Structure 1
Amino acid sequence: MTAGDHLVLEQFVDEAARNIIRKLVDPWLYMEDQGVRVKRIDGSEIAYSGIKFEGSPREVFWSSDFINPYLRAMVDDFISRASKTARQEGRDVGIVLHDVGGMLTSGVRRVLERMADIDQRLRGKGFPQSVQPRSIEQLLLGFNGYIAARIKVEHGAELMHARTIMIQASAKASSLVDTYSTWLMAGLAAFVAVLISNQEKVAKLVTPEMLTSSLVILFIVVAIGIVQKAVAVMVAASAAGENVGRDVAERGEAVAGFSIVIREILAGTLPPIRWFMRRRLLRVLRGDIAADGKSTYQFAQAQTVLAIVQMLLVAFLIGKLAWGSWLLQAPKPASAEAAPSKGGTQSSEMKSATSATTKAQVPAVETSRVQPK
C-alpha cells in the first residue's frame, strides 16, 4: 500500500472516531443542564436529565455495552475492508493490516481520551483539575488485544500456509537429523567396543583412563540421543497430524466442533505430555492458528542442537584419544635419559671418597686411645 493510500485510509479512520465522539460522547457534557439522549448499538436508548453525573449515569457511561460495541464495529469494518482491498489489488495483507491496526489504535485512543476528559469535567463541576482523571490504559490494552486478534483472523490463510511450511520443513529436517544421530551413536558404540575387546593389543596406544573416558562420553551421547529421538517422534507426529487434517480439509469435511477434537486428543495423551499439549492446543483455540507449527519448528531446531552436541562430544573423544596415543608413542629426549646417569656417577664417586676418608680416620682415633702414657 502506497503512502497516498495510507493517508486516505487514516483520514477515514479519524473521521469515524470523530463521528463517534460527536454523536455518542460529547452529548454527555450537557447531561445536567439539557439532558442526554443517546442510543446503544442494539437500538436501546439511554436518557438522563436533571441529575448529576454520578452513580448510575457514570456507570452507564463507562459500561461495556455502550461505547465498546461501536469501537469494535469500527475496528471490524476497517480491517475487513482493508483486507479485501489488499487481496484484490495483490498487496501484502500483513503489511496493510499492520498499518491499519496502528491507525485504529490511535482512533480508539482518541475516543477514550475524550471520554476521560468529559468524565473529569462533569465530576469536577466546573473545576476539572480538582479531580483525578480516569485511567483508560486498561481499556486501551483490551482494544489493542481485540485489534490484534481481529487482524489474525483476517490473514488466517497466510497463517495456515506458514503453519504448513514450518511443520513440513521440520519433519524433513528432523528425519535427516535423527538418521545422522542414530548412525553417530552406532559408530561410537562400535568403536568403543573394539577398544574394550582388544585392550591388550592397544595397550601401547590407549590407557585404562582413556577407556574410562570413552565409556563416559558414550553414555552421554546415548542419553542425548534418547532425548533427540523423543523430540523426533513428536515432530513426526505433528507432521502426520497436519497431513491428516489437510486431507480432511481437501475432502470438504468441515470441522465445526474443534474443541471436541482437542478434548479427545488430550484424553489420549499421557499425563507428562498432556500439560504441554494442552498449552499448544489452547493457543490454537484462542486464535493463534500457527501455534503448533511454531512449536514444531522450535522442536526441530532443538533436535538439531542436540545432534550438534553429540557430534562435538564424539570429536572431543577422538581428539583426546589421538593426543593421548601420541604422547604415549612420542620418543623421549636423549638429554632426559643421560642426565640421571651422569648425576648418578657423580653421586657414587662422592660416596666412595667419603667412605675412604672415614675408614682412614677411624683407626687413627682408636690408636691414639690405646697408646701408654
Structure 2
Amino acid sequence: MSGTRTAVTRRLARAAVWSALAGIGCSNGAPDASANGDAPVGTVEAAPAGERSWMPAAPRLHHTHLNTLDADAAIAWYRTVWPSGGRGELAGHPAFMTDVPVLFTEVDAPPPGGWDDRLRRAAPQSAFWHIGAFVNTTDLFEDLLSRGVDVLRLFVGPDGDARVLRSGQTPYEGTRTAAQLDSLGAAAGVSEARPGGFGYLVGPDGALVEMTGGPTTTASFSHVHLFHEQPVCAAEWYVEHLGMTLPPPREGAPSAEATDWTAADCATADRGEPGWPSLEAVGTIRSPRATIVFDGGSIGFYARQCDRARCGTDAALVPSRGQVLDHVAFEVADLDGFADHLRGAGIPTEGPYAFGETRALMVVGPDGLSIELVEGSGPEGRPRGR
C-alpha cells in the first residue's frame, strides 16, 4: 500500500464504477443489499490508481466449491430448492449448474464447519459464511417447509421467545439493536408482515444457504457472504491484490458506517451492538462491515461473530480449506499477472494448475479464506447442466 493517505473509495473514479454497477448483484442483476440490512459501507485508505504498479481487469464470480459426503444427493437437494438449476460437471467436479455454479468434492468423513443447531451457528466457523440466492421469499419458506427442507427460524429479539421464517415477518422494519427495540416499546409489536426478506436453509452436510429478496428481485443463485476479523481492512486487501473496487457509502448511513476509514482505523474499529432479526439469540454484529465490487456483482463482509464471550468463548476464524464451504472462485483474464503480483506481495499461492481445459491458482486470503482464480474467457465457456 502506498503511504499516501487517500480514501480511494471517495474518489469520483470509484463512484463512477459503482454507478455503472448500480443495481447489479452477484452475477446477474440481483443486488447484494440483502434484507440482512446490508448496504455498501466502509472505506479504506489506498493508493490512487496512478500510483499502483499493477492494475488488473476486475475479476468475476465464477463458482463456489463445497465438500460433501454425497455429491449426487447434494445436487438433488439444490435442485429441490432451486429447480431452474441442473446437474452438470465443471473441471471434472460434479456440479450444481446455475447462475454461479456450485462444485462438489466428495470426502470420506463429514466435513467440518456445518450448521450446529444446538449452537445456532456453524462450527468451526471460517471466513466463508454462506452461499445462497436472490429471490422473492414472500411464500418461499413455507413452500420449502412443506417439501421437507430444513428452514431455520430467526430470533426477533434478545428475549429469544419469538421467531420467524424470514425477516419480513418481524414486528418491526429493518434490523434493530436491543436499545432500539426497547425504545420502540409496544410499537415493536404492531408492524404487519412485509413481503420478502431474508431467511436461511440448512443444506447437505450442514452448508448454510441464505435466500433473500422481495417481489421485484431478479432471481439468481449467486449470493455469497463472508466473515472477516476486520471487514474494512479485508476489503482493502481485495482492492489491492485482486483488482476489486469499493462502493461509496449509502446515502444517509449512520456515521459508524459512513466514516472515511484509514488502514489504522479499520484495524482498531470496535464491534457494533448486535441486532435482530438474527440466527443467534445473541443477535448479529453488523458493524463494522464492508462490500467489495467486482465485474457484475458484489460481496458483503461481516465481522467475526464469536467475539469475546458471545459464543461462550472467543473463537477465531479457521481456514476454509476442508470445510463444508471450501472456497470461492473468481474468473480472471491474466492469471500469470495475478500469480506474479501475489507472490511478489508474499501472499501464499498454489499453482497455476489444470482446471478442466484452463488453469487456476489457489490463493490464501484474509483470515484463511481460500480463493481460487480461474483463467477463463467468460461464462459462455461453462458447460450446461443436464
TM-score, L = length of structure 2 = 0.18
Question: Higher relative CO (CA 8 A, sep ≥ 6), structure 1 or 2?
Answer: 2
| Higher strand proportion (structure 1 or 2) | 2
Radius of gyration: which is bigger? 1
TM-score, L = length of structure 1 = 0.19
| Higher helix proportion (structure 1 or 2) | 1
